[in-house]
Amino acid sequence: MAQRIDVKDLDVYYGTFHAVADVSMMIEARSVTALIGPSGCGKSTFLRTLNRMHEVIPGARVDGTVTVDGVDLYDPAVDPVAVRRQIGMVFQRPNPFPTMSIAENVLAGVRLNNRRISKSDAADLVETSLRGANLWKEVKDRLDRPGSSLSGGQQQRLCIARAIAVKPQILLMDEPASALDPISTLAIEDLIAELKNDYTIVIVTHNMQQAARVSDRTAFFNVAGTGEPGRLIEMDDTRTMFSTPSVQATEDYISGRFG
């Protein structure tokens, strides 16, 4: 199920603004890859190119290739909607659909695929997805309550349950814990550690300790100044990155000297 992602010579533009320049990287299957870097370095933009979500913004375009399972996501024959069904995404702020119940939220993506699923299958899927997101015990008695009745941390785990309910190959997370309290953050991090057994996970984070705790590989992005494109500075095993990075800027950033 989990797939490797192969990025080659990727450039991202918003209109005439060159946002990310010349990124090539290999993202291993069944592992957690953390993207770190100062604000405005293009790490979130880069993450959103991995499931073509950046296209939602008018004027955005991409040069280069992103290959998953032998298919270039940017091949003209590839439908971005299909890409997003295969590659799930969790956002910075929890965004369950406020007009849907907890159970409906979990099933939202499945219903999109127009699959007629029986009531019992739906109930099973809700349970396995919520269990997968470590939320089942807390919400099993109120599945018909609105998703917005949960706490922020629970909402975020509900969003993760919604993302994994469609059984994606890859899970992208854009600062999934930055709006949460420490205890909820810990719950999310534990969850990420479990999810990597089944999914390829790419996570953007501003929190260096979090990157060190949850990821196997870390990529450091940096930007020379405003108006300049963000670039991938280096990528290595997380342990190496946080002990003996090969670029001075990485060490400066990780040790808190800037950013």
Binding site for another protein (CB under 8 A): 51, 53, 56, 58, 81-86, 88-89, 91, 93, 95-101, 108-109, 112-113, 145-146, 148-149, 159, 162-163, 166
193 neighbors 182 (Cβ within 8 angstroms): no
Q: How many CA atoms lie within 13 A of 138 on its CB side?
A: 16
Q: Which is nearer to another protein, 43 or 52 (CB)?
A: 52
Give alpha helix (H) positions in 196-247: 208-214, 238-243
Q: What are the φ/ψ torsions at residue 25 (nearest 5 degrees)?
A: -160, 160
Minimal distance, residue 125 CB to another protein, in Å? 14
Q: Which is nearer to another protein, 82 or 224 (CB)?
A: 82
Distance CA 97, CA 193 (A): 26
Instruction: Tell me which residue of 38, 8, 33 sits closest to 23, measured CA to CA.
Output: 8
* Token output for 105: 């939220």
Q: Which is nearer to another protein, 31 or 101 (CB)?
A: 101
Minimal distance, residue 40 CB to another protein, in Å? 19
Q: Which is nearer to another protein, 53 or 235 (CB)?
A: 53
Minimal distance, residue 127 CB to another protein, in Å? 19
Q: Which is nearer to another protein, 40 or 146 (CB)?
A: 146
What three-state secondary structure class fits 45? helix
Minimal distance, residue 202 CB to another protein, in Å? 14
Residue type, 99: T
Minimal distance, residue 72 CB to another protein, in Å? 18
> 142 to each of 102, 135, 137, 162, how far by Cα in Å?
8, 12, 10, 16
Instruction: Tell me which residue of 120, 126, 196, 137 sits closest to 161, measured CA to CA.
Output: 126
Distance CA 120, CA 69 (A): 32
Distance CA 34, CA 89 (A): 14
Minimal distance, residue 9 CB to another protein, in Å? 25
Q: Which is nearer to another protein, 84 or 213 (CB)?
A: 84
